[in-house]
Structures are given as C-alpha cells and as structure tokens.
Amino acid sequence: MAILFDSTSRLFTLKTNHSMYQMKADRYGVLLHTWFGMKSSAFDYSYRISYADRGFSGNPYDAEDDRTYSLDVLPQEFPTYGSGDYRSTALKIRYPDGTSACELRYLKHEINEGKYSLPGLPAIYADSADTLSDTLIITLEDTRHMFYVHLYYGVMEGLDIITRAVCVENHSEADIYIENIQSACIDYLHGNFDLHTFYGRHVKERNYQRAPLTHGIQSIGSTRGTSSHQYNPFLILSDRDTTEDHGNCYGFSLLYSGDFLGSAELDQYDQTRLLLGIHPDNFCFCIKPQERFYAPETAMAYSCHGLGELSRIFHRTYRSHLCRGKWTNERRPVLLNAWEGVYFDFDGKKLVQMAKDAANLGVELFVMDDGWFGKRDLDVSGLGDWIVNEEKLGCSLLELSDAIHDLGLQFGIWFEPEGINEDSNLYRTHPDWVLKVPGKSPTRSRLQLLLDFSREDVRDYIFTHICKVLDSARIEYLKWDLNRSLADLYSAALPAERQGEVMHRYVLGLYDMLEKLIQRYPDMLIEGCSGGGGRFDAGMLYYTPQIWCSDDTDAIERLSIQYGTSFGYPVSTMGSHVSHCPNEQTGRIAPLHTRATVAMSGTFGYELDVNKISEEEKEIVKSQIIEFRKYYSLIQYGNYYRLTNPDQTTAYHGWEFVAADGSEALLCLVALQIHPNGPGYWMRLKGLKEDSVYVIDGREYPGDVLMNGGLLLPQATEEYQSFRIHIIEKSNF
C-alpha cells in the first residue's frame, strides 16, 4: 500500500515513487501537517516542529496551561476560521446562531484500494492495472458536534501525483452555511520560496511570472465565473535556486472551472501556508441536515529535479488519467476551422468549396464556426436560438455534412450554449432564464447575456436543442465556446438566502451538461473554448480533451502563450492552428513554416481560407500535414522539454519532444531576431540517453555530448525563421 498508518502515533504517510506526504493527529486530535517533499523513510517528521510560548498567539482550551501549544503557529492540514489561527484558513462555517468559530478534531479514517471519485465534479482517475492508487479518507469532527469534514487523499504511486478533496457533512438538525472552503492547504515550516503564477488577459494568456515570497499574502484568483484569461488555477512553489533541471518545486492544480483563489502566506515566523480552492467572494453555500458538500479536487506533485520534471508529471497524468474516452489515446484529426477564413460571411457552397480544397491538402476535419443558426450574421443577435438557418446555408445541415463527408472529411460545428442575445426568440420567450439582478439593468458583454446554467430546466432546454442539431447531421466534433465573464449573479430559481450558491451551481450545471453530452456522443471530439484560453483549466480537461489555447493565432505571440501553458498542461490539450498573414490580431508576418512549427506543438490545424493561398503554399501545407502525422506520437505523447524562455531570449527560442524510451527527439526552434555577421548559437538538448549515439542530418553525436556541449544551430536567414530537427538514436536509424 502507498498509504501507511502508525496507530500508536496516529501518523499517516503517503508515498509515491519519488515523493512523500505526511500528517498526524496529535495528542489533542489536531491534524498536523508534517511533510511534503522528497521520499524517505516513514519517520515521524513532526520532530521538526518547534514549540514555544508565542506572544499574542492564543492556546486551545484543551491545551490547558500549555502556553507553547498554539494553532496560530502550528502547521495544520486543514486550518479553520475562529480557532485561534489568525492566518488564512481553509474553512469558514456560519452556524444557525450566526457564529463562525470552528475547531476540528480527528475522529476516524479509512484506507481503500483505488482512487476516489467526486459526485458531479472532475477528478483524476485510475482505471488500469498499471496505475497503482489508494485512497485515504480522514474524518474530522467539529467540536460543537455540528458537522464532519472528510478529507480525501488519492495517491497515484507510479504517476507521482497526490490529490486532495474535501467533503463537509452536516449532521446537525439545522442549516449551516459554508462561507469559505479551500480544497488544499499546505504548511511549510520555512519560507525561502519563489511563487510561480500565470497571469494574462484575452489574447495574451498564461504569462509566466516568478517572484520571491515576501511577508504577507500573495494571491491570484478569479471572480469572473470562469478560471479566466487573467489568472490560471495552477501554482508552483520552488526553492529560490530551482531551475528547469535542478531543485525542489511543488505544483498545485485545481480541477475547477469557476471562481478560484490561490494564495501563499509568509507568516510572522517565516513559515509558508499555501491555499487553493473556490474563491469566497461570490460563494456562500447552505448545507441542510444530513446533506454533503464536495469541494473540487486539487492535484499536487513534487519534483527534486526542477520545473521541467514537475511539468512532465502533470503532463503524463493529465494525458492519461484526466482526459477521458476515445480521444485520450486515438490520433486526433488535423482540422480546418472556417472562422478566420470567412467569419460570418458564408453559405453552404462557400463552405463546401473550402472543404474541397482542404481535403486536397490532407485536412481530415472541417469545422463550421459561428453564424450557422438563428438570425446570426453578426455577434449581436440569435445566440440561444439553436435552429439551423437553412436559408443562409442554402441547404439542410444534413446535406451540408453529407457534402463534407463525400469529400472524405469529418464535419464539426461550433456552439456557445451558455450565451444568449436579447435579440433572440429564446430571450423574448424566457427573459427569466438569464443571470440578471431584479430591478437592475444587466451588464452586457459582446451584447450578450448568460443563461442561468445553475437551473436544470434551462440546461435541459438547451441540451435538447443541441441534440436535435447534432442528431440531424453527421457531426464528429463540437467546439464549446463562452465569450464573456459572468456577472449579475442572481437566479430566479433560488431563494434570497441561497443566492451565494449561484456561481458554484453554475459550474456544476456546466459539468452536468458536458457529462450528458459525453455519455450521449461518446465518439465525438469536444474542444473547449472561452474566447480562447479563458477557461483553460484541469477541470475542463475532464470533459474536453483539448481546449483552444488562445484567440491570438500569431505564431510569435503563441510562443509565450504555449510556453506558459506548458508548465501545467500537456501539448496534446492545447488547441493551436496555422492562421493567415498578416495576422488578424497583430498584423505580424511570420513564415508559413514557422506558423506550422508552433501549431504542431499543440493539436494542430488551420484557421484560414485555403482558397486564398497560393499553389506554392498549398504544397507546403500538404507537406506540413504529412510531417505532423509522422511525428504525431512523439509530439503528443513524448516528454516535453522547455529549452529557453521566449521572453528572456533574443536569439533562438527552443523546445524539444523526446520519446519515452529516448529513441528519438524533435527539436523545434524559432529565430526571434536576425543579426548580420552574428555569433554562433548552441542549444543543449535534454532527455537523451547519455550512452547512446544519435544521428542528426547524417552526422553522429553521442547523447551526453548533445546534452553537455549542445547542438550548433543553423543560421537563420529571414525574420522568425523556424527549424524542426529530427534526432534519431543510431540503433533505430
């Protein structure tokens, strides 16, 4: 078993292949956190905790006259508001009498084989014999005997992943309210850390940021109803000297697509507390007697070999044990999305002609984007009316999909199920179905409002109409989009005292509808999107195995976007396309070869009108698709290595894919600047076998030489030129 329990000391030790997590119920029943880091003997790490009489740090009543025992100082597994701990806490409960002070004590535990799941929420799974997993559930009881807290721990031994989740169970005879609940809390006895976060905005998501922890609270989060373009629910703590390849680092990923808060607090005694969970600003959830509330899961990983290995732990886990269904391991089709090629200006004939040219180039899936339904020639009307506009298409959807399939292509379609325009038949019929505060004019965004997905009747209506469309034609791909943030949080279906539940219930409703789609259409490839990367999170990956990475399709901008995304998410989840030049977002011109190099480091496809490219470019596209298929397994399932930071280099930005067995690699390079009579540049490769010989363009190199001395890079002759260099182990050449 990966979970050990010492009944004498009440010590819990969780072990993966290379990491260890430990806690213990002390003499007062307080669950102390003792260790998270490198794997070692299952020794009681609580020996590292110091006890002293701390001024202005109170003592629990059951500690009697022991002034050295204070929850304001001790490292805890699940600290609570009102317990004498004045740091940020993981739980705040409001009781029927209006009070909020809460103390939890250890009651019992159970250890089970296999990984737990969560009702209505995404969770990492283990469903194969080669993935050993165990579950620990520790039950804590409120000292006022009002409720239980069940702490869930999943140990994925071979994946080096430990997960945490929380369930609050009301076993009183009155309603209680959760005002704050964090899915994970980690207390470190020291504070010499850097905090790594990922910030951004629409068309500039997941910029990498690293800063030393200072005294106080440093936090990121979202109150937009989605995980957001602005911040991502993935954080890293590392030692100050940690690099890509060396040093201790700890990753925390919240499997949730709504409001979140991630914070790191360096306290008065130089201790660090990290918390990650639902943002409390728009949250207050009522639990009735005998009901349970489940908080979302957090995945945690530790690496002593730097940030690169930490990322690869998450990559392996998310590819195979978060993404589900047919498209987990099956090769995904190379697609052409019509959006940037035609926008709203199309009919059926134009789409078929685009598809015909795309098929001749080797494209396998043709996607019709926005504008095919209701009264929808611009983005100001029709949203919510999921009825095919046959007058605009000039044919039925079945006839269009048949024509696409007759060309040898699969057919895909775009939806934005959560949105609604006021200029729509649905809004005119059901204005009460939107998120809107009574007596207040709603906040518009993109001239649209949002349907109340916390309501089952609203979801059922939309689901029925989407299914009518999907059942009416041959459709293999669905793009699920959302193009605004949530506001005006009021549901006509909830009483006043439960309006604080709307945001979370909205996310649960989204998951419920996606799950129904997956069950009804198990072979359909669903791609998530929210104005690009506004909902790029681990929670969505449980339902959509790929997510449109950003609405910014500029290849040079995408270098930074995909670089930042790679810290927590595998390239197989990053929707990335080749678009036309000059680029729509930036006006930049980049070589077609470079646009493909960047897009190949994702799901790969095209977003342009192939009727408007030259014959020479069409031949290049043909060769790109052939090359991507050749390298598909290496790119999608190989180990990913960041070789440079595109925001900190002016020469070449490089990244590398290496087969799991080290038999081959693909080095990708983009020249960011051209200098006349410039110096030579070398790139040190990673992940190769030190004692093997590799062949590059007919020349042989020892693996250790390539990783120590580096590879002399080809000289770029044009701005933003790129190179894809295949590296093959000699024994496989």
Residues belonging to the active site: 537, 617
**Rounded distance, CA 535 to CA 516, Å?**
20
**Rounded distance, CA 565 to CA 349, Å?**
38
Pairing of strands 682-683, 711-712: antiparallel
**Rounded distance, CA 694 to CA 700, Å?**
6
Tell me the one-letter amino acid at 121. Answer: L
What sign does the CA torsion over 545, 551, 552, 553 have?
positive
Which pair of tokens denotes residue 287?
A: 């639990």
The arrangement of strands across the sheet holding 664-671 comes to 639-642, 652-658, 664-671, 722-729, 693-696, 699-702
Burial (CB < 10 A; 0-12, 13-18, 19+), residue 360, is middle
Q: Are 212 and 193 in contact (CB under 8 A)?
A: yes
Q: Are 704 and 691 in contact (CB under 8 A)?
A: yes
CA dist list (Å): 113 to 3, 134, 322: 10, 5, 19
Q: Are 385 and 392 in contact (CB under 8 A)?
A: no
Q: What is the 3-state secondary structure (H, E, C) of 294-358?
A: EEEEEEEEEECEHHHHHHHHHHHHHHHHCCCCHHHCCCCCCEEECHHHHCCCCCHHHHHHHHHHH
Pairing of strands 335-337, 365-368: parallel
Which pair of tokens denotes residue 24?
A: 């213990």
**Rounded distance, CA 480 to CA 413, Å?**
9
Q: What is the DSSP letter of 131?
A: S
Preceding amide of 582 cis, omega within 30: yes
**Rounded distance, CA 210 to CA 197, Å?**
7
Q: Which residue has the tokens 């670089």?
A: 563
| Cβ neighbour number for residue 677 with a 10 Å cutoff | 4
Angle at 148 between CA 142 and CA 151, to 5 degrees: 115
**Rounded distance, CA 112 to CA 374, Å?**
52
Q: Which residue has the tokens 């909020």?
A: 100
Q: Are 163 and 276 in contact (CB under 8 A)?
A: no
